[in-house]
Amino acid sequence: MKKILAVICSLALLAATVTMLTACGDKTIPYPNEDGYVVKVGVTLYEPMDYKDADGKWIGFDAELAEKAFGELGYDVEFVEIVWETKVMSLDSGEIDCIWNGMTVTAELQEAIELTDPYLVNQQVVVARKADAEKYVTTADIAKASSVAFEGGSAAQSVLEGLSLEEGKQVSCDKQIDTFLEVKTGSSDIAVVDKTLAQSVCGQGDYADLTFIDVGFAQEEFAVGFRKSDAEVCGKINELLAKYATDGTIDALKTKYDI
């Protein structure tokens, strides 16, 4: 009898496991949208791409573009703040349906998820205190810093890995915006961040004493990321991005958000 119960329990556990794995693998955005599906867009606080206004509403270049594009496809949008370093895990788990947050195209992302065509160019820059700016003119000068802050899982981390810096010099932060505080307080000598963010933050408010320097990093491209199972919806967003590139939508948002 005990053996029979053991077999039954094992089969029940196996069935539950298979069901759970199947559910994880079946996460997709329904298309066409017939049931009022709300697309969960993964973002971080990243001005001018995705950030909150005084009323707590998500605004920004990417926020407006995402709402416009998904709106044309019949979806509502919910913005979900994520940890950038685990963005692919958040996507695969179903916590979010896409990543639309100034995401740089990399070979690793192209393999892991479905990406749209690029819709905006970017570049990594060095953030420093204004008094120290002349110390950092080229990528080689980055090695002079005693510590360099960056956002974990970001394009900045990738370019820093290419410089083969001492591991003890690298300071990983959960959020890109946190790197500015690292530099301001002197916890890190410099930070490497997206130019789109640096030009919105440096010299403003609490960060009036910071500046950014173009040290010669190569240009990058932004794309939107989806699960591989959502290739159809990704393709529809791709078509809309191509339209927005020619009908003035993207140019108008670049002007509005000073990109």
DSSP sequence for 200-231: HHTTSGGGTTEEEE---PPEEEEEEEE-GGGH
10-residue stretch averages of pLDDT, the chain, 259 residues long: 41 38 62 90 97 97 98 97 97 97 96 98 97 96 96 94 89 96 97 96 96 97 98 98 98 96
Q: What pLDDT is attached to residue 17?
A: 37
What domains can you pick out in the chain, each with its CATH number? 33-120+222-256 (3.40.190.10), 123-219 (3.40.190.10)
Q: What pLDDT is attached to residue 9?
A: 41
Contacts of 49 (CB under 8 A, 6+ apart): 43, 60, 61, 62, 63, 101, 102, 196, 197
Contacts of 86 (CB under 8 A, 6+ apart): 153
Whether residue 114 contacts residue 232, with contact meaning beta carbons closer than 8 Å, is answered with no
Please name which of 103, 86, 8 lies closest in space to residue 46, comparing C-alpha atoms: 103
Q: What pLDDT is attached to residue 33?
A: 85
Dihedral sign computed on CA atoms, order 120, 123, 128, 129: negative
Please name which of 132, 144, 217, 134 lies closest in space to residue 183, comparing C-alpha atoms: 132
Contacts of 113 (CB under 8 A, 6+ apart): 88, 91, 99, 225, 226, 227, 228
User: And the tokens for 63?
Assistant: 């926020």
Q: What pLDDT is attached to residue 26?
A: 62
C-alpha span between 133 and 125 (Å, rounded): 12
C-alpha span between 96 and 42 (Å, rounded): 6
